[in-house]
Structure 1
Amino acid sequence: MVATLLHEIPLQGGDVTDGVVRVGDTVRRPVSPSTPAVHALLRHLEAAGFDGAPRVVGMDGLGREILTYVPGTTGLGLVTVTDEALVRLAELLRDFHDATEGFPLTRDGWEGGSNDDAAPEVIGHCDLTLENVIFRDGRPRALIDFDLARPTTRLFDVVTTLRHWAPIADPVDLAPLQRGLDVGARLRLFCDAYGVPPRDRRRLLELARLRFQRSYTVMRGRAAAGGSWARMWAGGAGERIRRAAAWLDKHEDKLHAHLVS
């Protein structure tokens, strides 16, 4: 048990976890049913030499988990929408997936959520929003907030990441910096950098549509229980998913051509 320090700095950003604070060079977070599985994953990543994730320190006197603080910046900015950042993120995600190999995919205790119908291949982060990627020196360096990690396919985690970073979304829901991006070209660039094989590229948009359908259902169910999920739903999360799915339907042929040409 690690003693609790007094000076706590609330960490803003993200949508789901309340009560996250920084204490010195550590982050304190409330535990959840998935905490043991996430800690096992983070320890596996450390043993595998993957340095793009926080380390587990222990628990504090208030029953919160203690992780190392990963310095850097998150969120939308000029540097995060560059092609160079997208390439590095694809490489970082591939490195993460490779590092999870050997971790038991049959382990229980994950948060759960929407998923692929194919058999799991890796542990996916499954929530790589702009707030969950740490940038330093203009490049993505680390992934944080593994609360929604779970066994899945590589392609599902790629699709989940591209939802936010291509982005696959109705422009009405995007910040000005993202509205002028060439989504099809960015899909291709990410897949090239990650090394997504041709068979998966042909299935990518189909899986994106399936994810929209299932994410809507999952979020609606979680919102009924209240808390952060309810706030996200009340803030229009469901409507944004529906608009993104409609935008994908409208532009699918053009996007698909970038992936298979």
Structure 2
Amino acid sequence: MSSATYVEPPESGPEIALVGGDVTEGVVRVGDTVRRPVGFNASLVHALLRHLEMVGFEGAPRFLGIDAAGREVLTFVTGEVAGQPRPAWIADEGRLASVGRLVRAYDDAAAGFVLPDGVRPFMGLGEITVPPDMPPAPPYPVELVGHMDFTPDNIVFRDGEAVALIDFDMAKPVSRVDEVCNAMLSWAPLVDPVDADPLLQGVDVPRRCRILADAYGMTDTDRSRLVEVAVMRSRRAWFSMKQIAETQGGGWARMWQEGAGDEIKRQEAWLERNAAAIETALTAP
């Protein structure tokens, strides 16, 4: 955990609860700052946010230190996020393209980040102790420390454009195709339609995958790997999610009890049925 102490201004204002997300509780706004519990991945996240500030990436909050209550202090990012229930604009293709551009801008900014001495790379809560029957991970090399949690709750929009990312708790070393795949999970979305938000149940998923890929500027090689990575990540997700629910409890256990495991199995089957259509959309001239 960072030792930086946040110096509270004389008049910081009241604490206003911020809702949204599935796991982290106790997030509040105080004036122009956000206070969050220090998470399991804090050392990496704090170093990453400092790097993003140093290179001038504007699409992330700034880490300001730890307050007297032991919470991390971040700058508050103004704008709108797609909370629950989702707003009608969740299906807008212009916003979708802006998500792809933001993810690319973040990945380019993060590509130069070097883990400080003593900071252990985060490889996933469910992979701290790998279950013996865990399916293999995608065989592609790590390229950067990715955000890997591009849910609608974690992307801030202004004037219809995705401008910032929040909640870096799941940051870990990944490939670029992992990052785009993660964005597609929520925004295409790469799920069985029965589990998609009602506003996204009738969309053309392969077309939305292509919009994201084009906006990101995916290479031909990564486009050819996307479906393979999506299927392999889905197969691993069931084992990881089960282990996280059992070891971490809280919101993870609640999501598992509410059927997250069944949803992952439906996602895997849907991906296998629709693999050809998605790959064709991604790779067509």
SS of 1:238's partner is: helix
Q: Kindly provide the CA deviation profile for residues 206-251 of structure 1, in whole angstroms up to 9, marking residues without a partner as x.
A: 1000111112111110100211211111122111111111111111
Note if 1:202 corresponds to 2:224. Answer: yes
Contact 1:105 1:120 (8 Å CA) reproduced = no
Corresponding pairs, count: 261
Aligned to 1:43: 50
Aligned to 1:150: 172
Aligned-residue offset at 1:116: 3.9
SS of 1:44's partner is: helix
What CA distance in whole angstroms lies between the structure 1 residues aligned with 2:229 and 2:190?
A: 12
Aligned to 1:238: 261
Alignment-mate amino acid for residue 198 of structure 1 = D
Aligned to 1:74: 81
Contact 2:47 2:116 (8 Å CA) reproduced = no
Aligned to 2:100: 90
Residue ranges of structure 1 left out of the alignment (5+ in a row): none
What CA distance in whole angstroms lies between the structure 1 residues aligned with 2:159 and 2:62?
A: 21
Aligned to 1:169: 191
Aligned to 1:3: 8
1:45-124 → structure 2 map (5 Å cutoff): 45-75=52-82, 76-104=86-114, 108-113=119-124, 116-124=138-146
1:224-235 → structure 2 map (5 Å cutoff): 224-225=246-247, 226-235=249-258
Aligned to 2:19: 12
TM-score (norm 1): 0.95
CA RMSD of aligned residues (A): 1.7
Aligned-residue offset at 1:105: 5.2
TM-score (norm 2): 0.87
Identity, % of aligned positions: 46
Aligned-residue offset at 1:110: 4.4
Alignment-mate amino acid for residue 235 of structure 1 = E
SS of 1:140's partner is: strand
SS of 1:224's partner is: helix
SS of 1:135's partner is: strand
